[in-house]
Amino acid sequence: MLQDRFGRRFHYLRLSITDVCNFRCEYCLPDGYQCEHDRQFMSLEEIHTLVQTFAALGTSKIRITGGEPVLRKDLPDILALCANTPGINTLAMTTNGHQLSRKVSSWVDAGLTHLNVSIDSLDPRVFHTITGHDSLQEILSGIELAQSLGLKVKVNAVLLKQRNQDALPQFLDWLKDKPITLRLIELMQTGENTTFFNQQHLRAAPIKEQLLGQGWSQILKDKTAGPAEEFFHPDYQGKIGLIMPYGPEFCSSCNRLRVSSLGKLHLCLFADRGIDLRQYLQTGDVEGLTRFLQTTLQDKQATHWLDEGYTGATKHLAMLGG
């Protein structure tokens, strides 16, 4: 079992397979993707070594992220590899919805069980302003198809003061008859979005109080759940999740580790560096990687220090997929 010196156990791996993204979201890549390195992303064989090792150490959930993971042509092979690894019970992916309708069936066939789709607004004009793409209706249609194929779907929306501050009623109307979990995520400061963060950061705590006042009740988490506080209401098929990284005790329940598309272990989304694993991955050295992970995990810190303005090596969220 992977466990740090604070007693936190890590059942959940967030695995980035590319840092390339085709959207231009204001809070992440407002100028579009800028390649700053050789695109020597992990091969299928390297990913196999990584996933095999993590599964043997107690990881039961993997989330495939990017950038935009759909841009990798071998995505179905990566999904199938993860799904067929003993010990992996949950296989999730986060996407911006690119080609969702056309490709989701192949992901389900490969073993995908959960899908998160980023939709920061249900207003097509605001969606276009935030993402640089006029594809909201296409993405919503893709979500319906994904649900019809049996996928458990969540929608991620980053809270932005000047974009969707008053959008909660519209989101709630949408959730009334849809078995979808909407996750409202506080904007996080990164190395490249400081000015935007200062203009747009919106706390989620008042939304929590509003939900509780309207009869929503909090749901207990399981061991592989993410950091969201989730709420349900008997009159709604959908649920609400709030991710509040600037709140107290946010890091105390941390249960995930991150590996970048370049094969670097990040002990935190805002760690000051990634730790290269490729000497083990390229040689298929499961035993060596096992020892290295168990030792290195003891360097994981108790908190991310985001509230002090610390962003570590994270220039933008596409580097690690959030």
Over residues 153-194, the pLDDT tens digits come to 999 999 999 999 999 999 999 999 999 999 999 999 999 999
From CA 140, how far away is CA 137, in angstroms rounded? 5
Non-local (6+) Cβ contacts of 93 within 8 A are: 63, 64, 65, 69, 79, 107, 112, 114, 115, 116
Does some domain include residue 42? yes
Question: Which structure tokens are listed for 194?
Answer: 């400081």
Residue 82 sits in which domain range?
12-319
Return the axis-axis angle of helices 136-148 and 124-131, rounded to nearest 10°.
100
Flag whether pLDDT at 128 surpasses 80. Answer: yes
Does some domain include residue 5? no
Over residues 30-61, the pLDDT tens digits come to 999 887 777 799 999 999 999 999 999 999 99
Top pLDDT among 247 and 119 is at: 119
Flag whether pLDDT at 280 surpasses 90. Answer: yes
Answer whether 301's CB lies under 8 Å from 270's CB.
Answer: no
Predicted model pTM: 0.95
Question: Which structure tokens are listed for 31?
Answer: 């100028």
Does some domain include residue 6? no
Does some domain include residue 274? yes
Q: Specify the number of domains making up the chain.
A: 1
Q: Is 242 left (phi over 0), alpha (psi -120 to 50) or beta?
A: beta
Flag whether pLDDT at 275 surpasses 90. Answer: yes
Flag whether pLDDT at 321 surpasses 90. Answer: no
CATH of the domain at 157: 3.20.20.70
pLDDT band at 322 (very low <50, low <70, confident <90, very high): confident
Does some domain include residue 3? no
Over residues 184-241, the pLDDT tens digits come to 999 999 999 999 999 999 999 999 999 999 999 999 877 777 788 999 999 999 999 9
